[in-house]
Amino acid sequence: MSAHIGYAAMLERFPPAEAVALSALAESHGFTGVMASDHFQPWIPAQGESSFVWSVLGSIGERTRGDFGPGVTTPGFRMHPAVVAQASATLGAMHPGRHWLGLGSGEALNEHVVGPYWPEAPERINRMFEAVDVIKKLFSASLAGRDVRHSGPHFKLEATRLWTMPPVAPEILVAASGPVTAKRAGRTVDGMITTGASTDKLAALLTRFREGAREVGRDPARLHRVLQLHLSWAATDEQAMRNALAEWPIGGLRIPRGDIRSPFEFEQLARTVRPEDFAGRMVVSADPDVHRADIQRHLDLGFDRIYLHNAGRDQARFLEVFGREVLPGLRA
């Protein structure tokens, strides 16, 4: 069976019109979906962009035919969960069966800009799952034609509903980088999103996700296991490494990044990244077969959707080569 390999449209790296065009180009080369990043600021100033993901997703939906969604948006800081639910429901109504909603607990780089207290990770995770509850309530009540309320430790919602809904609510996927979040995701939502890491860590996350699902009588096989996979491919190994260091040094950082607030702080930290820091974290190679083997390894681990991000600027060449030499050899 063919694998579901999508394109990661990195809005912190490419202007919105270019990101949309690249998403359409990816589909023409055999990629089967789009994950668009949600950033208010780029990771480092040299990346130079950060467009509003919901505007870009609307255009991606018009230019493509596959699945698409934000990877990931954070409800509760820049936008109340009700507004996130409305944005998602609108895309679902415009493109039934194609749009999914990816949610995360957030990073200070993007969320502190509106000036709230920035909580520690456990509180951010609790806020995210309460936001999931608000959004699920809105989706289900709106489909039933009734109002809903919510009053919790982090969010309030007065009696209301979403007046524009698709026939079926968008699937909700939650970003998880730790076992507790992965297990809670398995208990509550339609899927889990994570990023490339060691085989042992990813296997543990998938195990906890399945455990959470089974604890509440859900079939893990019916839930999505989604991976955003960063890589660096170019015509030569040397160029691939230059691209990784210049364009995606984040892939080599070995420190927690959720509390760092400025692209200029990340820029200072990125100067410490060395080629050896990418080992075991991100494949840097000119050989398509090396990348194909790494992607297949993640499919074999249990991921059913993988969205690829290449660190190089020549995205068109990457899409052409991978569409011809990598995607056809992958199997779910």
Contact indicator for 150, 137 with CB cutoff of 8 Å: yes
The amino acid present at 266, given as its one-letter code, is F
Instruction: Give me the catalytic one of 4, 12, 27, 39.
Output: 39
Distance CA 166, CA 82 (A): 16
* First-residue to last-residue Cα distance in the chain: 6
Distance CA 85, CA 294 (A): 35
Query: Which residues share a beta bridge with 305?
Result: 226
Query: Which residues share a beta bridge with 100?
Result: 171
Element housing 139 (H / E): helix 121-143
Distance CA 121, CA 117 (A): 13
User: What is the phi-psi region of residue 115: left when phi exceeds 0, alpha when psi lies from -120 to 50, beta otherwise?
Assistant: left
Instruction: Give me the catalytic one of 4, 12, 99, 107.
Output: 107
Does the annotation mark 39 as catalytic?
A: yes
Residue in the block written with tokens 């502190």: 112
111 contact partners, CB below 8 Å, separation of at least 6: 40, 74, 77, 78, 118
The 10 Å CB-count burial string (b at 16+, else e) for 136-159 is bbbbebbbeeeebebeeebbebee
The amino acid present at 226, given as its one-letter code, is V
Name the residues annotated as catalytic. Answer: 39, 107
